[in-house]
A and B are shown apart, each in its own frame.
Chain A
Amino acid sequence: MTEPAAATGTPVDPALEPDVLAFLHLEARLADEARYSEWESLWAADGVYWVPMGPDHDPRVNLSYVYDNRKRIRSRVAQLNSGARHSQTPPSVMRRLLTNVEVLDRGADTVTVGANFVLYEYRHALTTWAGRVVHTVRRRPDGSLELVAKTVHLVNAGGPVPTLAFLI
């Protein structure tokens, strides 16, 4: 098992499988469109959704904006689905661009992909979010894909950060 490359790591392999890229685009679109349960279904049982407050933070000692294990991902989605998550009622209207996509690492059955993103969020007003997103995707024995890790390094991780109740 290799260590996942850092968010700013050097690309190790220029060839990203088309279905992995399509998976990342699907993940982005489901988040944009507030299709919470479909988004949740992408996650592996050991998935971790992480929005750190600094580029080289360690979640064991540093506080994060979001550090969701699979159980908490389920809770987050359940709260969003409740219709009473006021900070996302109605849901933000969002569109995000995923670009500069690079393969950062490969494991036996995983690939770690880094990309830059820009996200336009409209709720009370238009808010622009941007950063580096690192996905680790696992290929199951049957060839299908699942999301093992998603780490979002916000350019404004230093804050102050507006309400971030949507799926970033």
Chain B
Amino acid sequence: MTELDTRPPEAAPPRTDVDDLVQHDRVHGSVYTDPEVFELEMEQIFRRGWVYVGHESEVPEPGDYVTRRIGGQPVILTRGKDGVVRVLMNRCAHRGNRLCNAESGNSTTFRCPYHGWTFNNDGSLVGVPMRTGYDKEFLARRSEIGLAPTARTDSYRGFVFASLAAEGITLAEHLGRATTAIDRLLALSPDGRLDLRAGWMKHQHMSNWKMVMENNVDGYHALFTHESVYSAVREAKVSHVPSKVEVCVRDMGDGHSEIDYSAEYTRLDEEFVWFGRAPRAKLPNYVAAMERAHGPADTHRALVVGPPHTLIFPNLFLAEMNIMMVEPIAPGETVAYTTPALIPGQDELNGRMLRRTEGAMGPAGFLIADDGEIGARNQLGLAARKPDWIVLARGRDTDEADETGLVNHDKSAETPQRGWWAHWAEVLGGRYNSRDGAES
């Protein structure tokens, strides 16, 4: 067992020597503020690794598209006439104009407003106006010119990820154990599908993107940051005092982590604790559809265990019945996108879900508005360069390894943060995305 590190602060580490910034139970404060670290993150995490882009339900029909950004680069997530979901770089192959300028829509072709080049939504160039101005050699090469696809696109049960790098580990390797969280969410859908089309709240956070992400799996802050909810509005769904509940935190490996309420809910053996304790009788159609699909026993279990509270590295948070994706803008600025994970066809459930999302999440949410404020103050605090280190030692001697990862039965342990940072250092150090066994 080790003691809290009380070594005197050293001189600031060399700026991009990642291993000097992350030391298991402490992290150098500059990781949130240094523009060079931010650039390195864009390169190693967002341009080389797998990044969550969107959900297949956002583009259900051929021609449907949504526009997104991956590490600052504009992309189009679209479904082709062939039904295939693609992620294309949103840049005209002629002279670089941003091709698609709407957030969402339906179009099987994109016509560039600058000089009128037209592209099919599979990326191929299908129209060049005034073609007589081009010579034979160009026209012969025309079929090679098109929208650049992201180097790799893959999905897991409707969740679409892309990598801008041609080489590296597979999506399955990247997701690792995090697929269990997606499975847990989809177990709450009678047919295993979701509908992410209620609209995205776009919430500007004046803090570093990692602060926004890791706060989501911080089981320590709720009693303090969200005191106003529990004191003035309603009690927490289960106690936030770690000794009173069987809630654990888990470093799932590969940067993914979670707060897991399932043992506590199972102990209570009560359905919908995670959904405002709504009684079954209020959701008869949903419960009936679940029982038709899964049978009474599995339905009961799914409704007891509830949804995941799981962070999927680097930019996706399964926020129970919400999906949050996070976009870094600058070292001190982030946009969080949030939408409820609606269940297709379940109007009575979905109506409640909309109101619950508005209540908790986004810029006016009872919870996230305060998380955003605390994040902004964290950024303001970190403008002080001393002390050098942020302390993440909580629970470090009580982490237990099992087949699900590294588990700590104290909900307030900083186990998820230690997992996040260890992985972050691996990725920024260039060791993760090109590790042995990666396919080329």
CA gap between A162 and B376 in the complex, in Å: 11
Given the interface contacts A87-B372, A164-B369, does A63 sit within 8 Å of B202 by beta carbon?
Answer: no
Residues of B within 8 A of A159 (CB): 200-204, 335
Partner of A65 from B225, B362, B366 at Cβ < 8 Å: B362
With CB as the reference atom, state the residue of chain A lying closest to B361.
Answer: A63
Binds A, one of B69-77, B173-181, B349-357: B349-357
Cβ of A85 within 8 Å of any chain B Cβ, yes or no, is: yes
Distance (whole angstroms) from the CB of B239 to the closest CB of chain A: 18
Cβ of A161 within 8 Å of any chain B Cβ, yes or no, is: yes
Cβ of A67 within 8 Å of any chain B Cβ, yes or no, is: yes
Most chain A C-beta atoms within 10 Å of own C-beta, residue among B203, B206, B380 = B203
Residues of A within 8 A of B370 (CB): 85-87, 165
Residues of B within 8 A of A111 (CB): none
Distance (whole angstroms) from the CB of A125 to the closest CB of chain B: 9
Interface 0/1 of B81-94, CB less than 8 Å to A = 00000000000000
Given the interface contacts A87-B373, A165-B370, does A63 sit within 8 Å of B201 by beta carbon?
Answer: yes
Q: Are A82 and B228 in contact (CB under 8 A)?
A: yes
Q: Are B232 and A53 in contact (CB under 8 A)?
A: no
Cβ of B199 within 8 Å of any chain A Cβ, yes or no, is: yes
**Which residues of A (42-85) have their CB < 8 Å from a CB of B?**
51, 53-54, 57, 59-67, 72, 75-76, 78-79, 81-85
Cβ of B279 within 8 Å of any chain A Cβ, yes or no, is: no
Cβ of A160 within 8 Å of any chain B Cβ, yes or no, is: yes
CA gap between A72 and B232 in the complex, in Å: 12
Cβ of A100 within 8 Å of any chain B Cβ, yes or no, is: no
Q: Are A163 and B373 in contact (CB under 8 A)?
A: yes
Distance (whole angstroms) from the CB of A131 to the closest CB of chain B: 14
CA gap between A158 and B200 in the complex, in Å: 9
Cβ of B2 within 8 Å of any chain A Cβ, yes or no, is: no
Residues of B within 8 A of A60 (CB): 351, 354
**Which residues of B (199-253) have their CB < 8 Å from a CB of A?**
199-204, 206, 225, 227-229, 231-234
Given the interface contacts A65-B358, A84-B227, does A165 sit within 8 Å of B364 by beta carbon?
Answer: yes
Cβ of B139 within 8 Å of any chain A Cβ, yes or no, is: no
Residues of A within 8 A of B231 (CB): 82, 84
Most chain B C-beta atoms within 10 Å of own C-beta, residue among A63, A76, A79, A84 = A63
Interface 0/1 of A150-162, CB less than 8 Å to B = 0000000011111
Partner of B233 from A53, A59, A61, A79 at Cβ < 8 Å: A79
CA gap between A63 and B225 in the complex, in Å: 25
**Which residues of B (350-407) have their CB < 8 Å from a CB of A?**
350-351, 354-355, 357-359, 362-364, 366, 369-370, 372-374, 376, 380
Q: Are B225 and A66 in contact (CB under 8 A)?
A: no
Residues of A within 8 A of B357 (CB): 63
Q: Are B201 and A162 in contact (CB under 8 A)?
A: no
With CB as the reference atom, state the residue of chain A lying closest to B376.
Answer: A124
Give the interface size class of chain B: 35 or more
Residues of A within 8 A of B354 (CB): 59-64, 67
Most chain B C-beta atoms within 10 Å of own C-beta, residue among A60, A72, A84, A164 = A84
With CB as the reference atom, state the residue of chain A lying closest to B359.
Answer: A72
Q: Are B376 and A161 in contact (CB under 8 A)?
A: no
Most chain A C-beta atoms within 10 Å of own C-beta, residue among B200, B351, B363 = B363
Residues of B within 8 A of A86 (CB): 225, 228, 370, 373-374
Partner of B369 from A53, A61, A163 at Cβ < 8 Å: A163
CA gap between A64 and B4 in the complex, in Å: 45
Cβ of B54 within 8 Å of any chain A Cβ, yes or no, is: no
Cβ of B340 within 8 Å of any chain A Cβ, yes or no, is: yes
With CB as the reference atom, state the residue of chain A lying closest to B377.
Answer: A86
Interface 0/1 of A73-110, CB less than 8 Å to B = 00110110111111100000000000000000000000
Partner of A62 from B198, B204, B372 at Cβ < 8 Å: B198
CA gap between A87 and B225 in the complex, in Å: 10
Distance (whole angstroms) from the CB of A17 to the closest CB of chain B: 31
CA gap between A62 and B362 in the complex, in Å: 14
Q: Are A160 and B204 in contact (CB under 8 A)?
A: yes
With CB as the reference atom, state the residue of chain B lying closest to A84.
Answer: B228
Cβ of B339 within 8 Å of any chain A Cβ, yes or no, is: yes
Distance (whole angstroms) from the CB of B179 to the closest CB of chain A: 27
Partner of B232 from A64, A79, A160 at Cβ < 8 Å: A79
Residues of A within 8 A of B376 (CB): 124, 163
Q: Are A63 and B228 in contact (CB under 8 A)?
A: no
Residues of B within 8 A of A85 (CB): 228, 369-370
Partner of B364 from A75, A82, A84, A164 at Cβ < 8 Å: A164
Q: Are B364 and A54 in contact (CB under 8 A)?
A: no
With CB as the reference atom, state the residue of chain A lying closest to B353.
Answer: A63
**Which residues of B (328-359) have their CB < 8 Å from a CB of A?**
335, 339-340, 350-351, 354-355, 357-359
Distance (whole angstroms) from the CB of A99 to the closest CB of chain B: 24
Distance (whole angstroms) from the CB of B377 to the closest CB of chain A: 8
Residues of A within 8 A of B204 (CB): 159-163
14 residue pairs of the A-B complex, CB under 8 angstroms, read A60-B354, A62-B199, A63-B339, A63-B354, A67-B355, A67-B358, A75-B232, A87-B370, A158-B202, A159-B200, A159-B203, A161-B362, A163-B203, A165-B373
Which A residues have a C-beta under 8 Å from some C-beta of B? 51, 53-54, 57, 59-67, 72, 75-76, 78-79, 81-87, 124, 158-165
Complex A-B, nearest 5 residue pairs according to Cβ-Cβ distance, in ascending order:
A159-B202, A87-B373, A84-B228, A82-B232, A160-B204
Which B residues have a C-beta under 8 Å from some C-beta of A? 103, 198-204, 206, 225, 227-229, 231-234, 335, 339-340, 350-351, 354-355, 357-359, 362-364, 366, 369-370, 372-374, 376, 380
